[in-house]
Structure 1
Amino acid sequence: MQNSQHNHYASAVVLLIIAIFSIQLGSSFAKVLFQSHHVLVVAVMRLGFGAIILACFSKLWQVKFHHIVWKNMLIYGASLAAMNALFYLALARLPLGIVVAIEFLGPLSVALYYAKQKTDFIWVGLAVIGIVLLIPFKQTQHSFDWLGALYALGAGAGWAFYILSAKRNTGISNQHTVAIGMMLGACLILPFASLTGTINSIFNIHALGYFLVVAILSGALPFSLDIIVLKRLPPLVFGTMTSLEPAIAAMIGFIFLHETLLFTQWIALCTIISASIGCTYSVQRSKKQQISEIKQL
C-alpha cells in the first residue's frame, strides 16, 4: 500500500516536470509569434487550438453537459483566460525567465497558505530569495518594464486561482474539463483580441504551424497533465514544485531566444531548484512518518 502511494506520488512529480518543460518551450515559440501577431491573438489561438485538439482526442461530444457543475467550470475557464492573456502581455515586455519568476508569486502564495511545518516555510522562503535574486533591479542588459511586471503579477494571481479551481469538481472527466475550460478561456479573451484590429492575422497560413505547436506545448499537453497532477499532489507541493518554472524558463529563454542573464540570476536558479527539491522531499518524508504512526496505532 505504501509503495503504491509512493509510486502514485512519484509519477505525479514526473508528469509535472514534463508539463513545466512543455509550457516553457511553447512560450518561446509564442514569443516568436509576437513579432507578427498581437499578443492577445496568440493567447486566443493558444487556448482555442488547444481546446479543439483536446475536444477531438477526448470525444467531447459524448459529454453529458447537464452533469457539468458550471460554476466551477466558469471559474476554471476564467483563471485560464487571466493566466494566459496576462502572461503573454508580460512576455512581450520582459524576458521569459523574469516573467515566470514574477508570475510564480501566485503558486508560491498557495504554497505558503497551506504550509504547516517549520521546514515548509524554509523551502518557501528559499524560493522567495531565489525569485528576488532573479529580478534585475539595477544591472541588466534588458530595461526592466514595470508595466510588464504588473502583467506578470496579474498572471500570477490567475495561476493561483487556476491551482485552486483545477481541484474543484466539475462533474465530468479531467480531459473534458480542460477542453471546455480552454474553450471558455479563449471566448473570454476573444473580445479583447478583436479590439486590437488584428484578429484577421490568424488566417495567415504560414503562422498556423506555429499556432499549432504553441497550442500543443503550452496548452493541450501541460493543462491536461496539470489537472491529473493536482488530483494527486497536495497544493503545497504543487505550488513549490512549480518553482522549477522560472529556472527552466530562463534556460529555455537563453537557448532559444538568446536572453542572457546576470551571474546573480543563475545563482537564483540554483536556489529556486533547491527549494523545489527540498519541499518535495520534506513533504514526502512527513507523509511516510504519518503512515508509520498510523500503523503503530
Structure 2
Amino acid sequence: MVSLLKVDLYRLRKDKTPLIGVLLSAGLLILTLGIFGIIKLISSVSDLEGIEMLLSPKRNYIQGFQMGSNAGLVALIIMAVFTARDFTQNTLRLKIINGHSRTKIYFSTLLTNLLYGVVVILGYSIITLLITTAIFGYGKAFDSKEFLSLLAATGMSLLYVILFTSVVTAVSLKAQRMGSSIGLSIAIVVGEGFLSSLLFMIPTFNPDFPEWISRSFQVLPSIGMMMLVNEGFTGRTAWIMIISTVVLIAVTITLSLLSFKKSDIK
C-alpha cells in the first residue's frame, strides 16, 4: 500500500485544487481575524466579558477544527473532489488493473484525505491561536496544566476531524461523482451540526429536561465539540466524546470499506 499511497500523495501535490483550498483557508483566516479586530475596536466596556469570550484564543482554536465552517468546510470540499476524481479520471480503474486491491485503494485514499485535512485544519487552528494570543492575549496563565489541557483538546478535536474525513471519503466513494460527493458531504456535516445545535440548546430552554438525556446527546460529534468549547476538558465529557467518536470512526470505516468492495466502478 505504500507505493499506492505515494502515488496518491503525488497526485495531491501536483493537483492545483488542494492548493486553492489552502489559499481559501488562508483568506478565511485573514477575514476572521479582521472581523475580530473590528469587534475589538468598536466594543464598549460593558461588552467586555462577552467580547473576551468571543475572542478567546483557546475557544477559537477548538472551533477551528469544526468541519462545517472555515478551513474545515474548505478541506471537506477538496477531499470530496480528490476522492471523486479517482472515478471521473478513471484513475481507480488503473489502480485495479495494476493489481491493487480495493482495501489498499480505500485506505490509501482515506490516509491521503486525512493528511490533507489534518494539515489544513490543524494549521488553520494553530495560526489562529498564535495570532489571537499575540493580539488579544491568552486570557489566563499558560502554565503546564493549561498546556496539557490544550493538548488534550487538540487530540479530541483531531478525532472529530478523522471521523468526518472518514464520512467524506465514504460518501465520495459511494457517490462516485464530484457534484454528488460535495453536496452529500456538506449536507451530512452541516446537517449534523445543525441538529447538534438544536439539541444542545434544549436544556437551556427547559431547565427540567432530564440530565441523562442531555448527556446522551454528547455522542453526537458536534455536541462533543461544543461541550469542549464551552465547558473545557472534563473527565465525563472527554470520555463520552472519545468513546463515541472512536466507535463512529470504526463503524464508518468498516461499512464504507464493505460498500466499496461491492460497488460497481462506473
- TM-score calculated relative to the size of structure 1: 0.33
- TM-score calculated relative to the size of structure 2: 0.36
